[in-house]
A and B are shown apart, each in its own frame.
Chain A
Amino acid sequence: MSRKLTYGQAFNEAVRQEMAANENVFCAGEDIGAFGGVFGTYAGLQAEFGERRVVDTPISEQAIIGLGVGSAVTGLRPIVDIMFMDFICVAFDQIVNQAAKLKYMFGGAATIPLTISTGGGGGLSAAAQHSQSLEALICHIPGLKVVHPSNPYDMKGLMTSCIREDNPTIMIKHKRLLGMQGEVPEEAYAIPLGQANILRPGNDVTVVGWGRMANEALDAAERLAADGIDVEVIDPRTLQPLDTATIVESVRKTNRVIVVHEAVRFGGLGAEVAAQIQEEAFDYLDAPVGRIAAPFSPVPFSPVLEQHYLPSTTDIEAGIRAIVARGA
């Protein structure tokens, strides 16, 4: 097995294989048909499956999610695309009050096998309305599952699981990872939701990071290895439900942990991870749980400012060094 795909191609292949396998799977969103999606992630799908199953919609995020909710509750398995994650705000009622709630409000009678796919993250000078990492908002909503792969292999397996999942799931594709290459098996496979991945085993300190930050953490770990600091990198992959058990087990081994994310620090998911760690591994900690995240500011347009805004490998490396130095 040595075939390589990009992160974006891995997404496309998961969609294509599940559409081929299940007649009830369809895609709908802005520009995903003839154009193949603004990031090319739906390329070729309309040519293969036709306009009936790969649907170009109006620029109407509420109706796009409503299309997903209504078709899911009546027996289809929709994949609806929200071009940029920032745009989920336009459709928040349908996501938060409808998709997430119908099953519970209806006493279990409704099943919503809906996948909402969206592009998150910064690093493209796309400024404050096309760059956000809003995972904390959606992880806060009971009824939703939230997935954010960090590499092509996980992308295909997790997207496959999202499509097969009977609950509403939000797949966050990191825009800066779309071109990332990696080995991806040709056959369909599913990575279970709710299972973290230990990207790099280590003994001295645990770094929890997702999306692009998981890769930045790996780079930082490689740099630190030269100095004899052995970093364990954990990618939760699924942010809701969060695999706390794997994180806690790691922390009990390393006794030090730092959480890294691209979203702003205040109220970010890192705060939840930190809280759960102190609840379950307080006695094992040799240092406070660290957090590396964006400052409390909109994402800036200026490439220079955005570079300062986004956590970098260097920031993570420095953060790890500080955690390791503490109480050593």
Chain B
Amino acid sequence: MELSTEVLLDMHRRMVRIRLFEEAAGKLAEAAKLPGFLHLYVGQEAVAAGVCTTLTDDDQITSTHRGHGHLVAKGGQFNEMMAELMAKSTGYCKGKGGSMHISNLDVGMLGANGIVGAGAPIAVGAGFTNKYKDNGNVAVAFFGDGSTNIGAFHEAANMACALKLPVVFICENNEYGEFTAREKTMAITDIVDRAAGYGMPGVIVDGMDVVAIHEAASEAVARARRGEGPSLVEAKTYRFFNHHGVQNLGLKYRTDDEVAEWRERDPIFSFEARLIEHGTASRDDIDAVWAELRADIETAIQFAEDSPVPTPDQLLIDVYTVMDGSQLIEKGVPA
């Protein structure tokens, strides 16, 4: 490991933050405290942490329906995130977005997205702004293997390359599009094969190895910053839970043995073993990180539970920048 201790510990911390947030969200969902759908990122933490440690707050990311991990890794705070999942007015989206639309523009997170593949074109737009303003920032699109089968991805990848925009495409290949195995939905094994079709470099990395991801992302981001255009990084990873919800074993479309095999390669625990082996951190140091962040999660849950729900008068706010009366007309009230 050539990375600095600071970066290594930062990556570890971000992964633990994601894991704890997701596990807490899962428990709250089981207790019926979270309305709506929940798509957990557990198992894929190394990807968000490895990539986002190469970015600044001014760099932008677009995300997916499985977006909590990306926001945590980009600097999202537990309180506002937990409040949003609980649909409280103190949440990042004031309770109007929820898990699938969680976002925080202040840290450059342009939204989780309920539409598969829709984030990539938006990342192209953010990349366009960066080039237009020559601000040195990079836009990163996170997406899954399944979304590379949708037209929006193709259009976005081609346009980003044609316009030579500072965009990095990060494919999290977790081998399943929702509840269907990747090999049933595409004739290729490696998503990275698609990169050549757009004229961009592509690289495969072990998605359970945060260092490998960080190194690959660093190169892609640096290339984009230099004005040399987009790259594709494919991280081979795995989601430990079901497509949505908190079930992980006994699923019809994958075997428990397969889950167990991937869990053996848990991105956090395997990284911790390396940190200890290399003397970067001790077991006690690592335990202290978990303890500290567990306390933060408890605080966030309390914050969210204590927060008010949105009042009905918030319903029509922020449909437009300014209330222009059109909503009133719709209700049959003369404006």
Contact = CB atoms under 8 A, between A and B. Distances in A.
Interface in B138-193: 139, 151-152, 155-156, 158-159, 162-163
Contact of B91 (A66, A70, A107, A194): A107
B321 A167 contact: yes
Nearest to A100: B319
B232 to A, nearest CB: 16
Given A70-B127, A73-B125, A107 B95 contact: yes
Contact of A93 (B110, B115, B317): B115
Interface in B289-335: 317-322, 324-327, 329, 332, 334-335
Chain B interface extent, by class: 35 or more
B70 interface: no
A71 B335 contact: no
A26 B125 CA distance: 12
B105 A110 contact: yes
B124 interface: yes
A115 to B, nearest CB: 14
Contacts of A62: 121, 151-152, 155-156
Contacts of B155: 58, 60-63, 66
A73 B319 contact: no
B125 A71 contact: yes
Contact of A241 (B113, B121, B325): B325
A240 interface: yes
Contacts of A268: none
A70 B110 contact: yes
B115 A98 contact: yes
B110 to A, nearest CB: 6
A287 interface: no
Contacts, number: 169
Interface in A62-81: 62-76, 78
Interface string B96-132: 1100010111000011011100101111111111101
Contacts of A78: 125
Contacts of A75: 129, 133
Interface in A247-279: 248, 276, 279
A182 to B, nearest CB: 27
Given A62-B151, A104-B319, A240-B326, A67 B93 contact: no
Nearest to B156: A63
B321 A66 contact: no
Contacts of A55: 163
Contacts of A76: 128-129, 132-133
B94 interface: yes
A67 B121 contact: yes
Contact of A67 (B101, B111, B124): B124
Contacts of B237: none
Nearest to A145: B320
A103 B316 CA distance: 12
A213 to B, nearest CB: 22
Interface of A: 26, 28, 52, 55, 57-58, 60-76, 78, 93-94, 97-98, 102-111, 142-143, 145, 166-167, 193-194, 240-242, 244-245, 248, 276, 279-280
Interface of B: 60, 62, 91-97, 101, 103-105, 110-111, 113-115, 118, 120-130, 132-133, 139, 151-152, 155-156, 158-159, 162-163, 317-322, 324-327, 329, 332, 334-335
21 contacts: A52-B132, A58-B155, A62-B156, A63-B152, A71-B128, A74-B126, A93-B118, A103-B318, A106-B111, A107-B94, A107-B96, A142-B319, A166-B322, A167-B321, A194-B325, A240-B326, A241-B324, A242-B326, A242-B329, A280-B332, A280-B334
User: Nearest 8 A-B pairs (CB), nearest first?
Assistant: A70-B125, A66-B121, A241-B326, A107-B94, A63-B155, A108-B318, A60-B155, A107-B93
